[in-house]
């Protein structure tokens, strides 16, 4: 039987309601993630973890393909079947990460180049003999006051195009992944500008190197503000900005676009994916190829203990299914307010906005504003007290400042946060730290647990959060 064509592989990977599991963390990256959960990183613990992922029952219902790491494609499951063979038997397409990670770009401080081109043709042939049908290469672009440079973008996109051409020659579908990373204090508008410019250069390089766009999949970041940006994005801002950027820079000949999660929380990644998929007139199949957003809760549940495998697999299935649903029948899954008001005009909130304070001061300012009020207000135990707290804030602070506070709290307490849960404990810690920095005894004595509870009640009673919670329920996250 002849091996599947590139077209057939793409068709399988883009099956409706399914996405790709990125399980291709390198040894150092997986080692770091294991360490945060107290799991030792050995060839056997990594093998056991990957077996947990790949053998989750009914995974194939929402996962079309899995990206493996070099070590994993050489490993076997407990029944002595190579992982790639086992995945294919369960209806999932095995793929392989073929880049060798990033190193500093000489003479360009703060920028990186991805290694792995030397000997790539032979490695691709070997991976294909192991059963891989597609490959992935990740280029990393950093945003800073003077970054990225045109040189860094050109070097990285040139390598991506060389890799893609070699993949097509070998019969593997190339996933081309230029990731503009979230690190930094940049705005959503700046991320849009850089992502668009990177994508334009990627496609120009692919065309120059005669890569067939019909046989390429793009894996890319959503357009979002940097992790340290004081202004937090609304879901609809992300979806509209991402759509605009893709429409401007990605040729319609490309069959599919897969989003990476890039360090977003699993719930936000799913919500934003659903909102993007709900937008009209996109010429590509849109889906996900998440690593952290699918695996974070799995590792949390597993903790390296075999007794926790069923619970950990249940987490994987829950998140994979939710993301699958996010891509499917999106107009039914998305409640009214997340839909665009008008399909073609960008929302006014995307127009560049000057931050009210400089980013570095943002966190402290917001905490200061909340704490100042909480210090006067005392404990907040009920929804009506939360609303009074909100009214008090509104009486004292201008509405745009309240909005910044609300967005800050909303980001810190994502949908599904519970009193006493990890997110509320973390916010309480932030408050204590900020109170210490403010050098005012009043703030230090505030009842932070109550303040956080009040803020949680506050965000939970907003229309927007109610919409998000409804969507999460629809997606069964
Ligand atoms: P994240 O979803 O964790 O960003 O990982 C996806 C990936 O494959 C990065 O190369």
- Binned average pLDDT, 10 residues per bin, the chain of 477 residues: 89 97 98 95 98 97 98 98 98 98 98 98 98 98 98 98 98 98 97 98 97 98 96 91 96 97 94 92 95 97 97 96 84 36 29 28 48 55 68 65 69 79 82 64 62 74 74 74
Token pair listed for 18? 């399914």
Considering the domain boundaries, does residue 266 fall inside one? yes
For the CA of 262, the closest atom of ligand 1 is: 4
Q: Are 269 and 27 in contact (CB under 8 A)?
A: no
How far apart (Å, rounded) are the C-alpha atoms in residues 464 and 139? 35
**23 C-alpha to ligand 1 centroid (Å):** 8
Residue from 290, 293, 323 to probe ligand 1 pocket by mutation (most atoms less than 8 Å from CB): 290
Q: Which helix (H) or strand (E) element contains residue 179?
A: strand 173-180
Residue 26 phi, psi dihedral angles, 5° rounding: -70, 170
Closest CA to ligand 1's atom 4? 262
Token pair listed for 285? 């199949």
Q: Are 413 and 232 in contact (CB under 8 A)?
A: no
Q: Are 136 and 121 in contact (CB under 8 A)?
A: no
Whether residue 176 sits in one domain with residue 67: yes
Considering the domain boundaries, does residue 351 fall inside one? yes
CATH of residue 137: 3.20.20.70
Which residue, of 333, 368, 384, is where some domain finishes? 333
**246 C-alpha to ligand 1 centroid (Å):** 19
Closest CA to ligand 1's atom 8? 22
Q: Are 67 and 20 in contact (CB under 8 A)?
A: yes
Whether residue 283 sits in one domain with residue 354: no
Angle between helices 359-377 and 399-412 (to 10 degrees): 100
Residue from 33, 138, 222, 260 to probe ligand 1 pocket by mutation (most atoms less than 8 Å from CB): 260
Instruction: Report if pTM > 0.85.
Output: no
How far apart (Å, rounded) are the C-alpha atoms in residues 399 and 390? 11
Which residue, of 298, 333, 368, is where some domain finishes? 333
Q: Are 139 and 175 in contact (CB under 8 A)?
A: no
Q: Cα separations (Å) of 151 from 146, 198, 221?
A: 12, 11, 21
Whether residue 322 sits in one domain with residue 175: yes
Considering the domain boundaries, does residue 393 fall inside one? yes
Which residue, of 285, 312, 333, is where some domain finishes? 333
Quick one: pLDDT at residue 10?
97
Considering the domain boundaries, does residue 369 fall inside one? yes
Give the residues surrounding ligand 1 with Cβ less than 6 Å away: 22, 138, 177, 260-262, 290-293
How far apart (Å, rounded) are the C-alpha atoms in residues 20 and 31? 22
Q: Are 475 and 274 in contact (CB under 8 A)?
A: yes
**268 C-alpha to ligand 1 centroid (Å):** 15
Residue from 220, 261, 323 to probe ligand 1 pocket by mutation (most atoms less than 8 Å from CB): 261
Quick one: pLDDT at residue 468?
75
**260 C-alpha to ligand 1 centroid (Å):** 5
For the CA of 24, the closest atom of ligand 1 is: 8
Angle between helices 309-327 and 266-277 (to 10 degrees): 20
Whether residue 289 sits in one domain with residue 389: no
Q: Are 267 and 416 in contact (CB under 8 A)?
A: yes
Whether residue 420 sits in one domain with residue 461: yes
Closest CA to ligand 1's atom 10? 138
Whether residue 320 sits in one domain with residue 358: no
**215 C-alpha to ligand 1 centroid (Å):** 21
How far apart (Å, rounded) are the C-alpha atoms in residues 19 and 219? 12
Q: Are 54 and 83 in contact (CB under 8 A)?
A: yes
Closest CA to ligand 1's atom 1? 291
| Domain hosting residue 431, numbered range | 345-476
**399 C-alpha to ligand 1 centroid (Å):** 37
Whether residue 366 sits in one domain with residue 261: no
In this structure, are strands 217-220 and 173-180 parallel, antiparallel, or unpaired? parallel
Whether residue 270 sits in one domain with residue 360: no
For the CA of 269, the closest atom of ligand 1 is: 2
Q: Which residues participate in catalysis according to the annotation?
A: 177, 219
Residue 288 phi, psi dihedral angles, 5° rounding: -120, 155
How far apart (Å, rounded) are the C-alpha atoms in residues 8 and 276? 26
Considering its fold, how many domains does the chain have in total? Answer: 2
């Amino acid at each position: 039987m002849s091996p599947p064509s590139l077209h057939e592989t793409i068709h399988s990977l883009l099956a409706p309601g399914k996405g790709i599991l990125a399980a291709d963390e390198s040894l150092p990256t997986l080692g770091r993630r294991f360490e945060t959960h107290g799991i030792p990183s050995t060839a056997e613990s990594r093998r056991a973890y990957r077996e947990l992922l790949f053998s989750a029952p009914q995974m194939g219902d929402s996962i079309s393909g899995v990206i493996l790491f070099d070590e994993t494609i050489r490993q076997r499951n407990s029944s002595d079947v190579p992982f790639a063979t086992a995945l294919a038997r369960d209806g999932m397409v095995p793929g392989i990460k073929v880049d060798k990670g990033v190193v500093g770009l000489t003479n360009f401080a703060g920028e990186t180049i991805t290694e792995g081109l030397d000997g790539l043709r032979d490695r691709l042939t070997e991976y294909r003999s192991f059963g891989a049908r597609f490959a992935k290469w990740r280029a990393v672009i950093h945003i800073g006051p003077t970054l990225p440079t045109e040189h860094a973008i050109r070097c990285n996109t040139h390598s991506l195009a060389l890799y893609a051409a070699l993949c097509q020659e070998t019969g593997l579908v190339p996933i081309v992944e230029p990731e503009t990373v979230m690190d930094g204090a940049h705005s959503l508008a700046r991320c849009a500008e850089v992502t668009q410019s990177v994508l334009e250069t990627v496609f120009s390089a692919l065309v120059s190197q005669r890569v067939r766009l019909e046989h390429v999949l793009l894996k890319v970041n959503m357009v979002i503000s940097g992790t340290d940006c004081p202004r937090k994005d609304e879901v609809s801002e992300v979806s509209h900005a991402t759509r605009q950027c893709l429409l401007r820079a990605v040729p319609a000949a490309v069959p599919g676009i897969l989003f990476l999660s890039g360090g977003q929380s699993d719930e936000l990644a799913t919500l934003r994916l659903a909102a993007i998929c709900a937008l009209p007139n996109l010429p590509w199949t849109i889906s996900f190829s998440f690593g952290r957003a699918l695996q974070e809760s799995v590792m949390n549940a597993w903790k390296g203990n075999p007794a926790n495998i069923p619970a950990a697999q249940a987490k994987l299935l829950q998140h994979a299914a939710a993301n699958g649903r996010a891509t499917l029948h999106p107009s039914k899954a998305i409640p009214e307010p997340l839909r665009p008001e008008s399909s073609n005009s960008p929302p006014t909130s995307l127009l560049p906005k000057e931050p009210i304070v400089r980013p570095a001061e943002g966190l402290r300012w917001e905490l200061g504003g909340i704490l100042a009020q909480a210090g006067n207000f005392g404990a907040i135990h009920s929804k009506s007290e939360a609303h009074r707290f909100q009214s008090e804030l509104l009486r004292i602070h201008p509405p745009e400042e309240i909005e910044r506070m609300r967005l800050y709290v909303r980001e810190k307490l994502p949908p599904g946060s519970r009193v006493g849960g990890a997110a509320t404990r973390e916010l309480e810690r932030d408050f204590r730290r900020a109170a210490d920095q403010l050098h005012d005894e009043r703030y230090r004595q505030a009842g932070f647990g109550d303040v956080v509870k009040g803020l949680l009640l506050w965000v939970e009673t907003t229309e927007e959060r109610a919409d998000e919670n409804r969507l999460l329920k629809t997606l069964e996250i």
